[in-house]
Amino acid sequence: MTTNVPVIDAHPTVPGLPKNYLNCSRGFMSWAGTLDHKRIGIMYLIGTLLTFLAGGVFALLVRLHLWEPHGMLFTNEKYNQIFTLHGAFMVFLFVIPAIPGALGNMVLPLMLGAKDVALPRLNLLSFYLWLSGAVLATLAIVLGGFDTGWTFYAPYSLYTNQAVVTIGLAIFLLGFSSIFTGLNFIVTTHKLRAAGLTWFRMPLFVWAIYATAILQVLATPVLGITVLLVAFERLYHIGIFDPRLGGDPVLFEHFFWFYSHPAVYIMVLPAFGIISETVSVHSRKPLFGYKLIAFSSLAIAIISFLVWGHHMFTSGQSTYAMFAFSFLTFFVAIPTAIKEFSWVATIWKGSIALNSPMLYTLAFLIIFAIGGLTGVILGALNVDLHLHDTYFVVAHFHYVMMGSIALAFFAGLHHWWPKMFGVIYDETLAKIACGIIFVGFNITFVPQFIMGSQGMPRRYATYVDEFHGYHQVSTIGAMILGSGVALMVYYLVASLLQRKPAMENQWGGVTLDWQTPTPPPLENFYAPPKVTHEVYDYSTLDLKTLQRPVS
Amino acid sequence: MIALLTQDPQAPVNYVANPAPAPVLDKWGQLPELASTFDHVDGLFYFTYIVCIFFFFLILGVLLFSVVKYRRKTWDQPAASNVTHNTPLEVVWTVIPLIIVMVMFAWGFKGCLDMTTVPHEASRNTYVATAKQWAWDFKYPNGSTSTNEVWLVVGKPVQFYLESTDVLHAFFLPSMRVKRDIIPGRFQSVWFTPTITGEFHLFCAEYCGKDHSRMYAQAHVVTQAEFDKEPWNPPIDETNLQSLIENGKRIFGQQCVTCHTVNGTGSVGPTWKGLFTKQGDQYVGRQREVIEGGQKKTITVDDAYIIESIKQPDQKKVAESPYDRNTMSSFANLDDKRIKCLIAYIKSLADN
Ligand SMILES: [Cu+2]
Ligand SMILES: [Cu+2]
């Protein structure tokens, strides 16, 4: 008997029942002009998945090129453009917007028991800003590409004769998309909670999205200003970053990381939120240390503004600055560790369903442990002086950004897929894909840790022979990883065509998102919901019918 | 290493004494052999490494155990426990990691102070490393210079002043555990004491554009006696053709190989093979279409043209695509002797 296939299918979605948000209206404009948070979420989902696939293709090209020490496919110049595209697409178009834009939009109002987000028009505007950013970024490729790395360090980004201004503008627009989404979620969380939904009854996904939103609103403007300054510097030579004009390239690094370190948490906090949900639901157990997790999200949000200098330990900053930045970096490890321990403790003595969302979650927990722990290695000042800008750093942040954030996104996608579309994917294929992705991922990046500690610098189109073996293993791993992702895309798309109906409450969740019909109606709930229980109280779950008693 | 410098791994440049080691996969979780006095980097690295491994297996163990033991057997199986928190446990797993990371912090900071406090001996043995797209120039305490190769004395503390003529670069000697960004317009320096003799990689670790990955230099750590012979400035016997050719090959390997090849395949610049052909015992220059002052014309390659190409590369640009679009920086600092070596080497390519 497989554990996770429910025996009792109490409430299959039956066609002909009251209309849901997917079939309540038809036609292009009913989507393009929609104010419904769920439809906007779906559009974000499609968009960010497409950019993820594009970024993934760039990644595979990078890995293929590195099969040979002198480079197999491209000239150095092309290679530099391709790794830049990989970074810029993944960071700005996928990792930052994907979870808040797609899953946050979809789930946050449901979890709060709201009809929609507080500012639906602003929400649609956010999406169109994202879309224009994506179009501009693609245009920048057509205009000849850009080869600055996703960090756009001055003065190289000021001198290179490529489409830096175009991509800068794209990032500027994407920044505003992010700010508006954040604003919207803050207001929604404050204003639209259902009756009885006190702050400490909010699901942790909401807490995480809320903490993220604060970061988005406070940090992103700095990025916007910085890319504008780069554009001005290129066009009008104002002399702020260009050392030839008396500017200071290190100032750029400060500006950039003042945004981009918090951005790491803009990316990872929503992932934490998803994991908090999936761990609890699929272990059928209240989250261990709920309050500590909620507060650690806020603590991370605040401290993360004060650690940006750890990206610049080699730039010759003063010893006092290094002291403070290193200290705070180690300090921020603590709330993160607390989260990891709490998730593991939640699983302990749970009722653990080994279905695909849970497998992705377990993969996350293992990979994130490595990603987080290697971050601690990098926080040590003298060790970082050796490891900085090597493949060790590359591997570390891929363990966090790809291995953790993308896997959490996949976990969330599998978790809420039945809720979003009312259909369920092929569970067996999903498990296989998860296994392939997990194995491929580790084969790709473990060798990069080794190379990095051996001194292999990052962003190298060619390399010394002694790293050949590691690079080849890494490339093989990337191909495995890529085929896992391809399989995932295949069965997800196939599930939409095969339309195998999902159940009302597919996994037995008790938060409000599982109290609405599946898929939800246009206005989410037929009657305003009321919350009378503590969050994650599975004792109220009637397992026979999979419905929580309506209060 | 050679493969790093050239597009073509077969390029017959082997001025570097030690051959590149065969690809190995036997260095899991190790730093490269330590060649300086900064042993605290290794100490803290391995300490953190062990702590990480411990916590990783702790987490993995609990996860696997739970998954096996508490796996849901029937759909309606409730959790074995509904505990929501446990304050002593939470205090423990907050405080213990906090103590551990504070130890790491203090250890790392102390090491960092060591690496940033330049001792007197080092500041009396100062080199200048000038990074430019995409080569390294070194200036020794006695004022002599070398390119893409640098010689150091074992056991003697050394300080490098780091300068950039264009964009950001970073001075990275993995074996010495030394890395520092090079920022145009800013004073930066590093110091270290090499402890073993040998050849070590010197990489550029900060992305600096097209040939970032080919911006490579080799650090030779030698004994004082060997150092005093100034191996970067070997005597050139102008009367001996073989000595000229060998030195020409060496200079090519240091300064020209990033853009030129000697085997017929084009790179950033045209290949040198075929610039001259041998007829009897005479070297005859090929016909070359060049652009001079916007005018296209055909000239015959000769010594004067080579000298001009090195000192004023923009004077006559090769008209052939894609070389006409690429630029070569002037090597006006090469003295006549070395240019003579280069010419002898270029001509010698026609010998076989
Ligand atoms: Cu950071
Ligand atoms: Cu470089």
Q: Under a CB-based contact definition with an 8 Å cutoff, are residues A203 and A297 in contact?
A: no
Q: What pLDDT score does B26 carry?
A: 58
Q: How far is the CA of B163 from the centre of ligand 2 (A)?
A: 13
Q: What pLDDT score does A209 carry?
A: 93
Decide if B210 and A76 are in contact by the 8 Å CB cutoff.
yes
The band of A397, judged by pLDDT with boundaries at 50, 70 and 90, is very high
Alpha carbon distance A57, A63 (integer Å): 10
Q: What pLDDT score does A425 carry?
A: 93
Q: What pLDDT score does B8 carry?
A: 37
Instruction: List, for residues A266-325, the tens digit of each pLDDT value.
Output: 899 999 999 999 999 999 999 998 888 888 888 888 888 889 989 998 888 888 888 999
Decide if A350 and B70 are in contact by the 8 Å CB cutoff.
yes
Q: How far is the CA of B103 from the centre of ligand 1 (A)?
A: 21
Q: How far is the CA of B52 from the centre of ligand 1 (A)?
A: 19
Q: What pLDDT score does B145 carry?
A: 85
- Which residues in chain B have their CB less than 8 angstroms from residue A284's CB? 72, 77-79
Contacts of A479 (CB under 8 A, 6+ apart): A60, A63, A440
Chain B CB within 8 Å of residue A285 CB: yes
Decide if B75 and A7 are in contact by the 8 Å CB cutoff.
yes
Decide if B48 and A376 are in contact by the 8 Å CB cutoff.
yes
Instruction: List, for residues A223-250, the tens digit of each pLDDT value.
Output: 989 999 998 888 898 889 988 888 899 9
Q: What is the largest CA-CA distance in chain B?
A: 96
Chain A's closest residue to B113, CA to CA, is: A319
Q: How far is the CA of A327 from the centre of ligand 1 (A)?
A: 13
Decide if A381 and B111 are in contact by the 8 Å CB cutoff.
yes
Task: Of A24, A17, A55, A59, give the one whose Cα is nearest residue A39.
Answer: A24
Q: Give yes or no for residue A8 having a pLDDT over 80.
A: no
Chain B's closest residue to A80, CA to CA, is: B210
Domain boundaries, chain A: 32-546
Closest CA–CA distance from residue A229 to any residue of chain B (Å): 18
Q: What pLDDT score does A549 carry?
A: 37
- Which residues in chain B have their CB less than 8 angstroms from residue A362's CB? 63, 67
Q: What number does CATH give the domain A32-546?
A: 1.20.210.10
Decide if B48 and A383 are in contact by the 8 Å CB cutoff.
yes
Give the number of whichever ligand sits closest to the CA of residue A378: 1
Decide if A386 and B77 are in contact by the 8 Å CB cutoff.
no
Chain B CB within 8 Å of residue A390 CB: yes
Q: How far is the CA of A501 from the centre of ligand 1 (A)?
A: 43
Residue A359 host element (H or E): helix A356-379
Question: Which parts of chain B register pLDDT below 50?
Answer: 1-24
Closest CA–CA distance from residue A439 to any residue of chain B (Å): 15
Interface of A with B in 332-351 (CB under 8 A): 333-334, 337-338, 340-342, 344-345, 347-351
Beta bridge partners of B277: B284
DSSP states of A171-237 as a string?
HHHHHHHHHHHHHHHHHHHHH-PPBT--GGGS-HHHHHHHHHHHHHHHHHHHHHHHHHHHHHHHHH-
Q: Give yes or no for residue A15 having a pLDDT over 70.
A: no
* Residue from the list B9, B82, B114 with its beta carbon closest to the beta carbon of A70: B9
The band of A96, judged by pLDDT with boundaries at 50, 70 and 90, is very high
Decide if B70 and A8 are in contact by the 8 Å CB cutoff.
no
Q: B27, B48, B213: which to substitute to probe chain A, counting the most A Cβ within 10 Å? A: B213
Give the residue-averaged pLDDT of A451-480. 92
In sequence order, which ranges of B166-299 are alpha helices (DSSP H)?
Answer: 224-228, 241-251
Chain B CB within 8 Å of residue A164 CB: no
- Which residues in chain B have their CB less than 8 angstroms from residue A71's CB? 7
Give the residue-averaged pLDDT of A366-394. 92
Decide if B107 and A380 are in contact by the 8 Å CB cutoff.
yes
Q: What pLDDT score does A134 carry?
A: 93
Decide if A380 and B48 are in contact by the 8 Å CB cutoff.
yes
Q: How far is the CA of A263 from the centre of ligand 1 (A)?
A: 8
* Residue from the list A326, A370, A465 with its beta carbon closest to the beta carbon of B23: A465
Amino acid in the structure at residue A237: H
Task: Of A497, A490, A411, A495, give the one whose Cα is nearest residue A53.
Answer: A490
Q: How far is the CA of A265 from the centre of ligand 1 (A)?
A: 9
The band of A16, judged by pLDDT with boundaries at 50, 70 and 90, is low
Q: Give yes or no for residue A13 having a pLDDT over 60.
A: no
Chain B's closest residue to A312, CA to CA, is: B181
Q: What pLDDT score does A386 carry?
A: 92
Closest CA–CA distance from residue A25 to any residue of chain B (Å): 36
Backbone angles phi, psi at A292, to 5 degrees: -65, -40
Decide if B78 and A538 are in contact by the 8 Å CB cutoff.
yes
Q: Under a CB-based contact definition with an 8 Å cutoff, are residues B311 and B332 in contact?
A: yes
* Residue from the list B49, B75, B177 with its beta carbon closest to the beta carbon of A6: B75
Beta bridge partners of B279: B282
Decide if A450 and B28 are in contact by the 8 Å CB cutoff.
yes
Residues with CB under 5 A from ligand 2 (ion): B 169, 204, 208, 212, 215
Cα dihedral A139, A144, A148, A151, rounded to 10, equals 10
Decide if B205 and A390 are in contact by the 8 Å CB cutoff.
yes
Tell me the average pLDDT of chain A.
88
* Residue from the list A286, A350, A455 with its beta carbon closest to the beta carbon of B174: A455
The strand ranges marked E within B154-259 are 158-164, 169-173, 178-182, 188-192, 198-204, 216-222
Closest CA–CA distance from residue A127 to any residue of chain B (Å): 33
DSSP states of A76-115 as a string?
HHHHHHHHHHHHHIIIIIIIHHIIIIIIIHHHHHHHHT-S
Decide if A470 and B186 are in contact by the 8 Å CB cutoff.
no
ipTM of the complex: 0.87
Q: What pLDDT score does A130 carry?
A: 94
The band of A432, judged by pLDDT with boundaries at 50, 70 and 90, is very high
* Residue from the list A69, A352, A450 with its beta carbon closest to the beta carbon of B27: A450
Q: Under a CB-based contact definition with an 8 Å cutoff, are residues A155 and A107 in contact?
A: no
Chain A's closest residue to B115, CA to CA, is: A382
Structure tokens, B344: 């002898």
Q: Give yes or no for residue A17 having a pLDDT over 90.
A: no
Decide if A377 and B49 are in contact by the 8 Å CB cutoff.
yes
Instruction: List, for residues B2-24, the tens digit of each pLDDT value.
Output: 333 333 333 333 333 333 444 44
Q: How far is the CA of A444 from the centre of ligand 1 (A)?
A: 23
Give the residue-averaged pLDDT of A500-525. 87
Chain B CB within 8 Å of residue A370 CB: yes
**Taking CA A327 as the corner, what is the angle to CA A395 and CA B114, rounded to the nearest 5 degrees?**
85
Q: How far is the CA of A403 from the centre of ligand 1 (A)?
A: 17
Q: What pLDDT score does A503 carry?
A: 83
Task: Of B133, B303, B6, give the one whose Cα is nearest residue A159.
Answer: B133
